[in-house]
Amino acid sequence: MAENEIITQEDPQMQLFSQQMESTLKKLERYCDTARPMLNGEVYLSSEEVCSQLRLSTRTLQEYRNAGTLPYYKIGGKILYKQSDIQTMLERHYNPIPKKS
C-alpha cells in the first residue's frame, strides 16, 4: 500500500475487514444473549428460565417454592434461583433405575 493511498469501502481489504467485524459482532451478540451474570461465582436464574430448563409450569414452580422444595430469593417483585440449588434439588430427588438380578 502506498504511503498516501486512500482506502475506500470498495477496497477489497476494507470489505474483508468489514465482514470480519460483522462476524465478530454477531458472535458477541449471541454470547450476550446467552451469558448469565455471576455474583460470587453463582449464576442466578429467573422463574421463566427455571420453568424453561426444567419444563415446568409456573404453577408447579410456585408449588415447589411453597413446599420449600426449591430455595429462592425475592428481591422487589423478582424471584431468583441459584443454579446450584436447582442442581442440588435434582440430585436430592434422583431415583436411579433398580438393577435387575
Q: What is the pLDDT of residues 3-61, one digit of tens each?
A: 777 778 888 888 888 899 999 988 888 877 766 667 778 999 999 999 999 999 999 99
CB 64 within 8 A of CB 71: no
Could you tell me the pTM of the whole model?
A: 0.60
pLDDT of residue 48: 94
User: What separation in angstroms does the CA of 84 have from each of 33, 49, 71, 92?
Assistant: 21, 14, 10, 12
99 within a domain of the structure (yes/no): no
Determine how β-strand 78-82 pairs with β-strand 38-39: unpaired
Long-range Cβ contacts of 72-77 (<8 Å, 24+ apart): 73/44
68 within a domain of the structure (yes/no): yes
CATH code of the domain covering residue 84: 1.10.10
69 within a domain of the structure (yes/no): yes
Overall number of domains in the chain:
1
**Domain range for 64:** 38-88
CB 82 within 8 A of CB 71: yes
